[in-house]
Amino acid sequence: MTAPEAAAGPAPGSSSGVGASGLGLVAVAIVGSGLFTYAYLALVARSVPVEDYGWFGSYWSLALVLGFGVFQPIELELARLVHLRPPGAPLPRGAVACLAALTTGSTAVVLLAAGLLVPALGGESGFLFALLCVCLVSAGQFLLRGLLLGSGRLGLHGAVLLVDSGLRVVLALGLALLAPSAGGVVYAWTLVAAMALAHLPLLGWVLLRRRTRRVPRPADDPSAGELAGAVGHLLTGSLAAQVVLNAAPVLVSVLAAPGEDADAARFVASFTLVRLPLFVAVPLQSALIPLLTRLQSEGDDARLRRTVVRGCALVGGLAVLAALAGWLLGRPVVALVFGERYALEGGAIALLAVGSVLHLGLLVASQALVAAARHRRVAVVWLSGLAASAVALAAVPDLVLRCAAAFTVGSGVALLVAAVSLLRAGRETPAPAAPSSREEPRHAPHA
């Protein structure tokens, strides 16, 4: 390795860059974060009345839609672009403008939809104010995550996730001990506080450190318009994805007839438990982007097609196992974690478990399309799933089953469209051209 190459940092996929070992550390951290998340939700469920937890579940789902749905696109695109840039280079053109637009747009939508959101949140305006703060904090949260992932700092990224989820547990436990009569609105602010404390101080340090390096901007840096276009397609897909994943707990509260509030709360608790793998996979999908980008650049179309077919077969087998586990073990496990009053029947839990497996496969498939820079197809995949969810919601009459079917059918249809898109992408991808003298290999920077 020459001196300039040593200064630039490791190549993508090297042991010090974004390799399997680093990804494994993130996976371990995310599993721990998922366990903390369940401890947090279980603490809230056992500390507030059943109906109040149903409203908190609606707030939780809306916060996920706002965070991951609106701001994860900038994290994904930053992870891809920063991974391809020299170390310490300035932020891509338009990144700050995109973040400002996403923050302004999301807060405006929450305010405009206040008349619909407040009833779905039990008439508590405190939930609405907490959602507005989620919009503001999420801008810094996902900017930090994108920079850490793109620069190969996977261990630090995983540590941030652990600190965030751990702080939620500490704050919720403190409320349960010091203010046992606190309602769901008060617990809503523990989420905002944990997000801010875990991300914003570190973001300030990372940006200050990058600013002091004064590395020139790459000559082939994408324009602000190109970044905005890519983020726009990802935003469409990301919002549709979060609606497919998180709309059910909100809809079940909105659609509940008088006397069905307890059923809605049971659905929220059972769905929360069934989605445990997704609490792990949703943050992990961003960490896959640098690795998938490197694999896509190798241009092995036959291997891509084999991987897609094997992945679909694996998802099918796991879905069968999930259905059996949900049918036989779902009710007692939900009762153990949240209490007997929150357990649904085994059939409904089995349907939700199948949907979680399908959604898990979908997350990986959609990130493969992102890594291949096929942002428009990502939007098509998730919009297809959203349309299928709407059809299932309209076709099934029962409150619990219609919401469960909307999630499972939407995830299954979107996975099918993603698999077809990946197979077609493999056939359409041209053979990689020989590198010219101007096209030198890029290296993964350090944060």
Name residue, tokens 């450190």.
209
Using CA atoms, how far apart are residues 388 and 406, in angstroms rounded to an integer? 7
pLDDT of residue 28: 78
Q: Do 99 and 74 contact (CB within 8 A), yes or no?
A: yes
DSSP-assigned letter for residue 86:
-
Using CA atoms, how far apart are residues 96 and 74, in angstroms rounded to an integer? 10
Task: Tell which residue, 434, 134, 446, 82, has the closest CA to residue 289.
Answer: 82
pTM for the whole structure: 0.67
For residue 323, the number of C-alpha atoms closer than 13 Å in the C-beta half-sphere is: 11
pLDDT of residue 432: 40
For residue 340, the number of C-alpha atoms closer than 13 Å in the C-beta half-sphere is: 0
> What distance lies between CA 254 and its chain's CA centroid?
24
DSSP per residue, 285-302: HHHHHHHHHHHHHT--HH
Radius of gyration of the chain (CA): 22
- Report the C-alpha dihedral over residues 295, 375, 133, 209, rounded to 10 degrees: 50
Name residue, tokens 């170390």.
87
Q: Do 388 and 409 contact (CB within 8 A), yes or no?
A: yes
pLDDT tens track, the chain, 447 positions = 333 333 333 333 333 344 455 556 666 777 788 788 888 988 998 888 877 887 888 898 889 888 888 888 888 888 878 776 666 677 777 788 889 999 999 999 999 999 888 887 878 888 999 999 999 999 999 999 988 888 878 788 889 989 999 999 999 999 999 988 888 899 999 999 999 999 999 999 988 887 766 666 666 666 677 778 778 888 888 788 878 887 888 788 778 777 777 788 888 888 878 877 776 666 565 566 656 666 565 555 666 667 677 777 888 888 898 889 889 888 888 888 777 777 788 888 899 999 988 988 888 788 777 766 677 888 899 899 999 999 999 898 888 888 899 999 999 999 999 888 877 765 554 444 333 333 333 333 333
Name residue, tokens 């949907």.
355
pLDDT of residue 16: 38
- The b-or-e profile of 57-77 (16+ CB within 10 A means b, else e) is bbbbbbbbbbbbbbbbbbbbb
Using CA atoms, how far apart are residues 371 and 167, in angstroms rounded to an integer? 32
pLDDT of residue 3: 33
pLDDT of residue 18: 44
pLDDT of residue 279: 63
Count the Cβ atoms, other than its own, within 10 Å of residue 51.
Answer: 16
DSSP-assigned letter for residue 342:
G
pLDDT of residue 446: 37
Using CA atoms, how far apart are residues 58 and 348, in angstroms rounded to an integer? 19
Using CA atoms, how far apart are residues 276 and 41, in angstroms rounded to an integer? 11
Using CA atoms, how far apart are residues 84 and 386, in angstroms rounded to an integer? 32
